[in-house]
Structure 1
């Protein structure tokens, strides 16, 4: 799964890597981004790629005022094209979630040790995502797509986010299938337990032990 990540690269680098056509979105480095927060997303438009903030926690477009379901932070890539909640967004409302990396936890010696995962080349990546705007409150929401873990991730969690390079992200926005993307080359390091608390959003969260 993907339940926590970080984005701290310079704004100018984001503009370049994701070929963004406007510069007017607010931006500040984040080291402990959590579900329920507004997160930076990239979408394609007739005027080029645009970036803005969407709430992390997907609510289906058909959800009305009486909807009592739980917002979903992840969607399985294997079934997103068929599930009623996701299929319209999967075909019509794709997005990218820029990130420097993500966190996962593993049980070790009786406690959960957090790990930071980043690309081996230290390049910024993007999670494949989908977004929606429901009838419930007309607020845009999104989910990060996940897949079965590759051999590198299996000892940490059985699911992982669909991690794309910035270039692959352009193809995702154009409608390419996830099978077209090779597994990312990731590296990992144990980090401070500061990341366990979502109120901590400082560089300490990514510091290795």
Structure 2
């Protein structure tokens, strides 16, 4: 399951997209709020888009909820059968996400990008920090679409830009948003061959 993504979004591209979608950008935000990262992994701090009044703000949060009990950190959260109206919804901006195949390390690494956009957003939920833990986010998952199915039996929920506000403000049914994109929406590229 996706535990690694890439964030190579230029500030100008982000601003252009936000203006096109009429989502607004807080005046105090700048390119410093959208740092470049080749690999964002579990427990890394990364920018997350969330509602703040009339705008969508970028805030640095921890990638994964802290463990509860004996389990590990929660970095992927199954969306099926759940309702998120009372959750803090967010978008994780990414230029690509990765899936891994194989049984031996290093596993083959596959990079997925959105076919018709310079960057994508993954549906997520976030929580305020507790104690000495910072605010944190997790990615929502669903059954795989045609593009991801050859690589994994689950996938993160990738939202097209026209559905970003619908997820943040929940103005469309969750079942309509939290599903895989149609086949051909994602481009897969193997960026590292694995060991057989």
TM-score norm. by structure 1 comes to: 0.76
Distance of 1:164 and 1:192 partners within structure 2: 26
2:180 alignment partner in structure 1? 183
Q: Secondary structure at the match of 2:164?
A: helix
Aligned partner of 2:113 among 99, 118, 136: 118
TM-score norm. by structure 2 comes to: 0.81
Distance of 1:98 and 1:161 partners within structure 2: 13
Q: Secondary structure at the match of 1:172?
A: helix
Q: Secondary structure at the match of 2:102?
A: strand
Q: Which runs of 5+ in 1 are unaligned?
A: 82-86, 194-209
Structure 2 vs 1, CA of residues 73 and 108 (structure 1 numbering), >3 Å: closer, same or farther? closer
**Superposed counterparts of 1:16-165, under 5 Å:** 16-18=16-18, 19=23, 20-22=25-27, 23-24=29-30, 25-59=32-66, 70-81=72-83, 91-107=86-102, 112-137=107-132, 139-165=134-160
The Cα shift of 1:15 comes to 2.3
In the alignment, is the contact (CA less than 8 A) between 1:100 and 1:118 conserved in 2?
yes
Distance of 1:4 and 1:135 partners within structure 2: 24
Q: Secondary structure at the match of 1:15?
A: helix
In the alignment, is the contact (CA less than 8 A) between 1:100 and 1:124 conserved in 2?
yes
Equivalent residue pairs, number:
182
